[in-house]
């Protein structure tokens, strides 16, 4: 497939995904939230089994196990259980050894389900208020929102303790994300400058670079190893029945004066 066709395909998909006000038809792909829910339930179950209940808490541990089993069954039935999972996670988090054992699975799930969440207002610690806010995305750095007056990117350390506790932000993760983001911005700026110098559209140049990266990921994937074939049994020649041959008929030479 030519690069131009790949770029057009990627751009068309980008437009379909981000078109505002339209719901995307079901493509038959797995539901990402259910995948994250399943991963978190499994991680919570493993974490809970690794703990020893304190005296007098054995019954509650059994109830937590039963609740996780119920969530597991709901997930298998393709049912989302945000509230119940959030309640169980918050209780399991205060048990000994905290959240470290299942942290990655929790972050994937809790940040995904926050997308699209509506709030009458989001108030920063310094007092600034964003009204009629909708969460667009939650990252290691903070939140990206739409609000009554436009859009904003909120740093995690500007948000209150309730948000900090919910999304488990840390300064170190935010710093690493900012460094990676700055590096990507520098590369994008250099690419645009080069495109302008070459008399090319910088937007097209950027999309071509994305397409090349995408193709490079596909080409560098692990090669498929053919399955090992079991040695087959030796082939035996089938017994052929003797054929009865008819005697050959003699073909006479053509008569003189007749053409063939």
pLDDT tens by residue, 202-249: 777 767 776 676 566 555 545 555 555 555 566 566 565 665 556 656
Give the other-Cβ count within 10 Å of 55's Cβ.
5
- C-alpha 102/C-alpha 95 separation (Å) is 13
- C-alpha 97/C-alpha 40 separation (Å) is 17
Higher-pLDDT residue of 95, 114? 114
What are the DSSP calls for 214-227, one per residue?
HHHHHHTSPPPPPP
Output b/e per residue, 165-198; b: 16+ Cβ within 10 A: eebbbeeeebeeeeeeeeeeeeeeeeebeebeee
- C-alpha 104/C-alpha 173 separation (Å) is 12
- C-alpha 171/C-alpha 139 separation (Å) is 12
* Residue 100, pLDDT score: 86
pTM as predicted: 0.57
Higher-pLDDT residue of 192, 80? 80
Give the other-Cβ count within 10 Å of 122's Cβ.
22
Tokens 């490079």, residue located: 216
Are the beta carbons of 135 and 145 closer than 8 angstroms? Answer: yes
- C-alpha 107/C-alpha 62 separation (Å) is 25
Q: Which two tokens stand for residue 98?
A: 């905290």
* Residue 250 clears pLDDT 50, i.e. is over it: yes
Q: Which of these, 220, 205, 212, lies nearest to 1 by C-alpha position?
A: 212
pLDDT tens by residue, 20-68: 444 444 445 579 999 999 999 999 999 999 988 777 788 999 999 999 9
Residue 45 CB partners (closer than 8 Å, separation 6+): 65, 68, 72
Are the beta carbons of 164 and 156 closer than 8 angstroms? Answer: yes
Residue 72 CB partners (closer than 8 Å, separation 6+): 38, 41, 42, 45
Q: Which two tokens stand for residue 86?
A: 């959030």
* Residue 185 clears pLDDT 70, i.e. is over it: no
pLDDT tens by residue, 99-155: 888 999 999 999 999 999 999 999 999 999 999 999 999 999 999 999 999 999 999
The three-state secondary structure class of 35 is helix
């Amino acid at each position: 497939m030519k690069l131009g066709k790949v770029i057009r395909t990627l751009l068309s998909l980008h437009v379909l995904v981000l078109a505002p006000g339209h719901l995307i038809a079901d493509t038959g792909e797995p539901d990402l939230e259910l995948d994250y829910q399943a991963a978190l339930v499994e991680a919570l179950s493993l974490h809970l089994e690794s703990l020893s209940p304190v005296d007098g808490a054995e019954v509650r541990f059994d109830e937590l196990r039963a609740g996780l089993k119920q969530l597991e069954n709901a997930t298998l039935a393709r049912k989302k259980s945000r509230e119940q999972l959030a309640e169980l996670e918050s209780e399991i988090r205060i048990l000994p050894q905290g959240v470290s054992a299942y942290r990655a699975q929790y972050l994937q799930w809790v940040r995904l389900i926050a997308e699209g969440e509506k709030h009458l207002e989001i108030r920063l610690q310094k007092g600034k208020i964003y009204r009629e806010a909708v969460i667009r995305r939650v990252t290691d750095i903070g939140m990206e929102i739409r609000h009554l007056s436009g859009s904003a990117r909120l740093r995690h350390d500007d948000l209150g303790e309730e948000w900090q506790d919910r999304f488990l932000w840390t300064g170190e993760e935010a710093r690493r994300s900012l460094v990676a983001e700055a590096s990507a911005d520098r590369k994008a700026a250099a690419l645009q400058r080069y495109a302008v110098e070459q008399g090319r559209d910088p937007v097209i140049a950027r999309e071509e670079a994305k397409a090349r990266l995408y193709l490079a990921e596909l080409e560098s994937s692990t090669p498929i190893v053919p399955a090992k074939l079991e040695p087959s049994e030796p082939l035996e020649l089938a017994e052929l029945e003797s054929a009865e041959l008819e005697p050959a008929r003699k073909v006479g030479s053509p008569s003189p004066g007749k053409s063939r």
